[in-house]
A = this chain, B = another copy of it.
Amino acid sequence: MQFNGVLDQLKIYEAGKPIELVVREYGIEAKDVIKLASNENPRGCSPKVLEAVRAEAAKMNLYPDDSMYELKEALAKKYAVKEENIIIGAGSDQVISFAVHAKANPNTKVLMAGITFAMYEIYALQTGATILKTPSAGHNLQEMLDIYKANKDISVIFLCLPNNPLGECLDTKDVYAFLDHISPETLVVIDGAYQEYASFKDPAKKIVPSEIIAKYPNTLYSGTFSKAYGLGGMRCGYGIAQPEIIKALLKLRAPFNITNLTLKAAIVALSDQAFVDASVKENFEQMKSYEAFAKELGFNIIESYTNFIVLEFDASKNSGVIAQKLMEKGIIVRNLGSYGMNAIRVTIGTPEQNARFFELFKTIYK
């Protein structure tokens, strides 16, 4: 059977290995496996969320409130915007998918940093658009601007602030200066999946959605409950933009795109800011031990504004081998070899998980 031509450009996505797979493949007990590969919150989620979801579970037979009234109301309050400025997605990457499908097509191009969140490219390829990346790995706004000026048919630009999988983050004032040069017809997606971390570490990195969409009506801010809120397994994110953009994206949203337990989890999660604050604070306390560890072992790190850190190795070592050896010991990290880097990305875990990582890493790194 013949399928649409765009499928020729697409590969089947292979996600990071889950704990279950390491248990199956290496015969390690689940309790001994430490997953530092997917930037999940190692503290779990708010106990209030856990309690609320367990109560709500009795309603699993019922479809969710597809208007998502309560969740939009809570988000609108948090971000000082209106409900008409908000769309909910199954993870912020579904919002990103809607954005790309609303704007990109085979006659347009999509611009992003040299190394950034992999789904931008995948969604863009689904539309048949051409992918443009900066020569630099991280966000280099001058390179982006040069490419933008040289190409009149760029429909979407991605700024990942801070950037996954590298951890770097632009200053907001530089982002604004960049946006001054972008046509109101080009959609700029500001991916704030790790903004809770970046804005805590350095206020100069903080993106205020209500401000950025007011100053630049062609921007879409996306946020997620998967990271600081500790709800990666529940698949919930949101987009904030001018109503004109939200209306277009809503046309691509299928009904009931998140579960009713997800809806409840997200609503209650927004009521427990103390959990998020404590998670973010501990994250950066623990990150110091990774920085010290890297110094001790003599490898390079990229300064991180997220809940993960990239460890770069010199040519005498191979990041793929290191990641594999760690996995055989029960520690799952993300090898960045597929990005052309000799590096691994490690999620900052709990103090106990990090201590175990340092201990095991030393046994395999010789």
Interface residues of A, Cβ cutoff 8 Å to B = 1-4, 7, 10-13, 15-16, 18-21, 24, 35, 38, 40-45, 49-50, 53-54, 57-67, 69-70, 90-91, 93-94, 97, 101-105, 119, 122-123, 126, 184-185, 187, 217-218, 226, 230-235, 244-245, 247-248, 250-262, 265
Copies of this protein in the complex: 2
Q: Which residues of B contact A18 (CB under 8 A)?
A: 62-67
A-B contact pairs, 13 of them (CB 8 A): A1-B184, A1-B185, A1-B218, A4-B104, A7-B102, A13-B250, A13-B254, A24-B69, A40-B61, A57-B57, A59-B233, A64-B233, A259-B262
Task: List 9 A-B pairs, minimum CB-CB distance, nearest first.
Answer: A15-B66, A233-B260, A18-B65, A10-B251, A61-B230, A15-B255, A12-B250, A3-B248, A54-B54
Q: Which residues of B contact A62 (CB under 8 A)?
A: 18-19, 35, 38, 40, 232-233
A54 to chain B, nearest CB (A): 5
| A244 CA / B7 CA spacing, docked (Å) | 12
Q: Which residues of B contact A262 (CB under 8 A)?
A: 259
Residue of B nearest to A233 (CB): B260
Q: Contact at A57–B54, with CB atoms within 8 Å?
A: yes
Q: Which residues of B contact A16 (CB under 8 A)?
A: 63, 66
Q: Contact at B102–A4, with CB atoms within 8 Å?
A: yes
| A126 CA / B4 CA spacing, docked (Å) | 14
Q: Contact at A44–B58, with CB atoms within 8 Å?
A: yes
Q: Which of B44, B90, B93 contacts A60 (CB 8 A)?
A: B44
Q: Contact at B251–A235, with CB atoms within 8 Å?
A: no
Q: Contact at B15–A254, with CB atoms within 8 Å?
A: no
A321 to chain B, nearest CB (A): 23
Q: Contact at A251–B12, with CB atoms within 8 Å?
A: yes
Q: Contact at B235–A258, with CB atoms within 8 Å?
A: yes
A305 to chain B, nearest CB (A): 20
| A259 CA / B258 CA spacing, docked (Å) | 9
Q: Which residues of B contact A43 (CB under 8 A)?
A: 61
Q: Contact at A63–B15, with CB atoms within 8 Å?
A: yes
